[in-house]
Structure 1
Amino acid sequence: MPAGENWGQRVAWRRATLAFLSAIPIGWVGALIGLGGAEFRLPVLVGALGFPSRRAVPLNLAVSFLTLGIAFFVRGRVLPWAHLIPLWPMLGTLLLGSLSMAFWGAGWLPRVRQRHLERAILILLAALGLLLITEAFLPLAPPGGGLPTGVIRYGIAFLAGLGIGLVSSLLGVAGGELIIPTLVILFGVEVKLAGSASVLIGLPTVAIGLARHLRRGLISSQEGLQVILPMGLGTFLGAGLAGPVLGRIAPAALKVLLGLILLFSAWRVFHPHQVQTATSGEV
């Protein structure tokens, strides 16, 4: 076997191993707080695995799709989907906005300059980190409240969906950290129902962005074997390991810790010095 080919296989094996191992703790903590962990995968894809942001976002979407697919079957057994039928008018409006922006955002991604994309990612990840910390001290509003019914309610649902779709297309995430607070605080949805609804909204939102990236050839079969599949398996394993300790760790303390980790990792990977280095040759 030629030396170059042997070296390439070692690099591929190391990348797949790192992708798998890094996804286990991400899946573990994500399961503990009810998230897919995509916010934490993105710094790993760019930092540890060395993908440019334009390549990392589609890869993150692919792993998010696998994670949501598993969550769809798991949550369907715990909480029947029929419980969401009364919410469909509002959820459908939210989903329409989310799908619209996810479709257009996926088309914008290849046109955005690398340094601009990195700065946008830094801002969005920092905002999600701060949101995690805030939720630890300010519990979500009790169910039964929310906005009044009518045109205003559906208009706000559509605008919220646009924001969720934008974040999904730029970060490659399902948007659960935004969907659940939106449903509970603005629309008075019970938090467990909101968790299931976030899967239903996130799955097609991620799927439409992922489909556009696949059509553009932004994900190769090699990346699927080296990154997407190992990360998906690692996330599934990590989520399974969370079961024995679920309920033993204070959610508030965990959210503060994860929020701080997200802030640090976002700055460490996407701060201006890194952006300047990565794009020094860009016109």
Structure 2
Amino acid sequence: MTKPRQVFAFVGGAAIGALGGLIGLGGAEFRLPLLIGPFRFRALEAVILNKAMSLIVVATALPFRAASVPFAAVASNWPIILNLLAGSLVGAWLGAGWATKLSSRNLYRILAVLLALIAGALVFGHGATTASAHLSGALLIVAGVIAGFGIGIVASLMGVAGGELLIPTLVLLFSADIKLAGSLSLAVSLPTMIVGFSRYSRDSAFGVVTRNKAFVLIMALGSIAGTFIGGRLLGIVSDQLLIPALSLILVASSVKVWRHE
């Protein structure tokens, strides 16, 4: 691994981590086009590498947030976490299995569509601070399982944590406070990502992680540093400007990935 590639991996990871920190995400959605584009990994390899680095970022993000959202507050909402996990774990396993069987062309197309959909989720789902739960009892549980299942599939197919979908779900479906939703999202994402990652480990393409250990470590360190910095900048940059700009980046990335061969 050349020195310029190492520097680019760290700087790229830090920039993406900062973007993610600013909006409460791990930044995997922005990392994926970078892995496929400038670093020229194949679609499935990029998804697996993205999953590996996202796992590291998610595992460290929850402790970073403990000062604002104590672990006790997260633990007290264990019914919501288990509700979403009941669907997301199954979805993560199935999504990873489907990804390993898809042709590169079809996987590129699916990733492109998902990037565009996530851009929409950022615009319409982020920033919601209040919600009235219209469902309760068994209906709410069923809705949570279905939502978790869909999010698990998307997270596994893209190698992301799924926070951009989980946070709006937690706010709109379970009426969670936006800050608490961010930590609950991490609590759901971590086991979901581990399940998807373990499924990918059964495929020969998983060797891309061991072949690129130095790359994974350097970019993950950059992502963690960037997420920390982004969190500190949160009070400076306005969501009203940031969210549309990031959504446009995702749409542009979607078009680029769609055209990738």
What corresponds to 1:83 in structure 2? 73
Distance 1:131 1:148, change over 3 A: closer
How much does 1:18 deviate?
2.1
C-alpha contact 1:58 1:172 (8 A) present in aligned 2: yes
Q: Which amino acid aligns with 2:163?
A: G
Structure 1 gaps of 5+ residues are: 1-8, 279-283
C-alpha contact 2:129 2:178 (8 A) present in aligned 1: no
How much does 1:45 deviate?
0.3
How much does 1:115 deviate?
1.2
Q: Which amino acid aligns with 1:221?
A: T
Q: Where does 1:67-146 land on structure 2 (aligned, <5 Å)?
A: 67-135=57-125, 139-140=127-128, 142-143=130-131, 145-146=132-133
What corresponds to 2:137 in structure 1? 150
Matched, 1:212 2:187: no
TM-score (norm 1): 0.86
What corresponds to 1:235 in structure 2? 223
Deviations 1:204-239 (A, max 9, x none): 11111112222334133231212x111111112212
Query: Structure 2 CA distance, aligned partners of 1:220 and 1:34?
Result: 26
Question: Identity of paired residues, percent?
Answer: 38
Two-structure CA RMSD over aligned residues (Å): 1.7
Matched, 1:267 2:252: no
How much does 1:79 deviate?
1.6
How much does 1:132 deviate?
1.9
Distance 1:243 1:174, change over 3 A: closer
Structure 2 gaps of 5+ residues are: none
Matched, 1:246 2:234: yes
TM-score (norm 2): 0.93
C-alpha contact 1:35 1:176 (8 A) present in aligned 2: yes
Distance 1:184 1:15, change over 3 A: same
Helix, strand or coil at the partner of 1:140:
coil
Helix, strand or coil at the partner of 1:48:
coil
**If you compute each CA radius of gyration, which structure gives the higher value, 1 or 2?**
1
Between Structure 1 and Structure 2, how many residues are aligned? Answer: 259
Query: Structure 2 CA distance, aligned partners of 1:107 and 1:15?
Result: 31
2:210 counterpart (193, 198, 221): 221
Query: Structure 1 CA distance, aligned partners of 2:248 and 2:123?
Result: 8
Matched, 1:257 2:245: yes
What corresponds to 1:281 in structure 2? none
C-alpha contact 1:61 1:206 (8 A) present in aligned 2: yes
C-alpha contact 2:100 2:200 (8 A) present in aligned 1: no
